Amino acid sequence: MTTWFKRLKEGLKKTSSRLSEGITTLITHRKLDDEMLEELEELLISSDLGVATARDLVQKLAKKRYNQNITPEEVREIFAEEIEILLNPCALPLTPKGASKPFVVLVLGVNGAGKTTTIGKLAKQWKDQGYQLSLVAGDTFRAAATEQLEIWAKRANVPLEVAPTKDAAGLVYDALQKAQTRGDDIVMIDTAGRLHNKTLLMEELKKIRRVIQKIDPTAPQATLLVLDATTGQNALTQVKVFQEAVDVSGLIVTKLDGTAKGGVLVAIAQQTGLPIHAIGVGEAIEDLHTFSAKDFAKNLMER
């Protein structure tokens, strides 16, 4: 079995991580003094970990090795360990099984994060596992969003409910009723991308949630926020605002096949403890993998 980490490494052979490079340049058998700690902190920040998390990690390193000689490998190892410890409780795969049927999955996030693509990938995985599922084209706003999901539905070979009008909430209501009648195991709802600072759009999202709960008060069983790994510190705000608005239950991080390593996730894990279910590592249907704290930490630190 090739882990996604191996896959990543293959793709990234030529681009060793800046963080790792930075650590090597910084330390060649030097004593771990204050100046070095400060520079390490900056290096961590420059991998999108944010100031608070970077400070925290550096302090942990200092506690272990202050004023001792240290090699770049050791620094990387200690950081990777600490990050893994931080992320481990969050590494929870999503199992689409609940007390009632269907298991409703609401997918949300800012524009272009990878919601529609991720739905296509997840649909394929669950379909292959033998679940009966349907998709709902809840993005009634973006040009050709429905057509895009239609193609994904075809690729995954699952049915899709589309809206006759622009009314996303109305569509969701009808689609859920139909899914219940059919006895679907899973229903996945795509939504329009929205920036979390747009009050009206966030209200619309709350409305969709209320409509879902009219049909099943325990639904949605999963409310997934999709984050783009290229995003910097704003991802933290995104998580907090979406969480407050619609009670996000877990995260999926996309585009980890690029050179951005999603460092902000460490800060998010530290501050919210939200489960991280899966990561996207490409545009193809099979490019969705279970999140592994160890691999993620290694990928952040590895050369």
Partner 1 sequence: MFDTLTGRLGSIIDRLKGRGALTEADVKAALREVRIALLEADVALPVVKDFIAQVQEKAIGQEVLHSISAGQLVVKIVHDALVEFLGQEVVDIELKASPPVVIMMVGLQGSGKTSMTAKLGNYLAKKQKQKVLLASLDIYRPAAREQLRTLGQQCHIETLPILAEEKPLAIAERALQMARLEGYDVLILDTAGRLHIDQDLMNEVVAVRNLAKPTETILVADAMTGQDAVVIAKEFNEKVGITSIALSRIDGDARGGAALSMRAVTGKPLKLLGTGEKPDQLELFHPDRIATRILGMGDVVSLVEKAMESVDQAEAEKLALQMQKGAFTFEAMESQLLQMNKMGGISSLMGMIPGINKFQDKITQAGVNDSFIQRQIAMIRSMTKQERKDARLINGSRKKRIAMGSGTSVQDVNKLLKQHRDMSDMMKRMQKLGKKGFLRQGLQGLMPHR
- Which long-range contacts link 112-115 to residues 24+ away (Cβ below 8 Å)? 112/193, 112/228, 113/193, 113/226, 113/227, 113/228, 113/254, 114/226, 114/228, 114/252, 114/254, 114/255, 114/280, 115/139, 115/190, 115/191, 115/193, 115/226
Of 89 and 112, CB closest to ligand GDP: 112
Q: Are the CB atoms for 115 and 109 separated by under 8 Å?
A: yes
**Closest separation in Å from C-beta 137 to Mg ion:** 9
Distance in Å, CB of 112 to partner 1, minimum: 3
Cβ atoms of 97 and 211 within 8 Å: the answer is: no
Pairing of strands 288-290, 276-280: antiparallel
CA-based nearest residue to 248, from 279, 217, 224, 278: 224
d(CA 22, CA 42) in angstroms, rounded, equals 10
Q: Rule CB under 6 A: is residue 138 a binding residue for ligand GDP?
A: no
Stretch binding ligand GDP (CB under 6 A), from 12-20, 21-29, 216-224, 251-259: 251-259
Q: Choose the one of partner 1, ligand GDP, Mg ion, none that binds residue 292, judging by a C-beta under 5 to 8 angstroms depending on kind.
A: none
Would you tell me which residues interact with partner 1 (CB under 8 A)? 11-12, 14-15, 18, 42-43, 45-48, 50-51, 110-114, 141-145, 147-148, 150-152, 193, 195-198, 228, 230-237, 255, 257-260, 263-264, 283
Task: For the segment 142-171, give every residue that binds ligand GDP (CB under 6 A).
Answer: 142
Helix (H, G, I), strand (E, B) or coil at 117: helix
Which of Mg ion, ligand GDP, partner 1, none lies near 109, with the C-beta cut-off 5 to 8 A by kind? Answer: ligand GDP
Q: Which residues bind Mg ion (CB under 5 A)?
A: 115-116, 139
| Sites for ligand GDP among residues 185-224 (CB under 6 A) | 193, 195
Among 33, 167, 244, 283, binds ligand GDP (CB under 6 A): 283
Residue ranges that bind ligand GDP, judged by CB under 6 A: 109, 111-117, 142, 193, 195, 226, 254-255, 257, 280-283, 287
